Amino acid sequence: MRFQVSTFFKVLGVGAFLLIFSLALQAGPAPDGGGDLFKQKCSMCHGVDGKGYSALKTPDFTDAKVQASLMDKEIKETIKNGKKGTAMPAFADRLSDEQIHSLVTYLRSLKR
């Protein structure tokens, strides 16, 4: 009888731990957020702030004119397939459609 009671509390303890753990995960930053992805995959060429580097000829994504010159569809295509004749690489095999979508949302949020 004693054994069963202690087992019951152990199972309860593990359950509570898992619950708290999963809540803590949800409270943290979204792991696939566009901002995090941008920092990991794009910032080395486009700058952490998205302003680009003139030496690399990367555009300033905070510039309203640059934003206006790009359509969402074009941005998606560029991320997927890269830009021929430039250093912009293709990410189709490394990013899901969802991740690419969140990157587009993030790029749009940079506009001043």
Footprint on this chain of ligand HEC (rule: CB under 6 A): 41-42, 44-46, 56-59, 70, 74-75, 78-79, 83, 86-89, 91, 103
Greatest alpha-carbon pair distance for the chain in Å reads 75
Q: Which is nearer to ligand HEC, 6 or 40 (CB)?
A: 40
Question: Which sign does the torsion angle of CA 99, 97, 82, 76 carry?
Answer: negative
For residue 46, the minimal CB distance to ligand HEC (Å) is: 6
Give the torsion sign (CA, 72, 97, 82, 46): positive
38/56 Cα distance (integer angstroms): 17
To the nearest whole angstrom, how small is the minimum distance from the Cβ of residue 70 to ligand HEC? 6
CB of 76 to ligand HEC, least distance (A): 9
Query: Nearest distance from residue 78's CB to ligand HEC, in Å?
Result: 4
Three-state SS at 42: helix
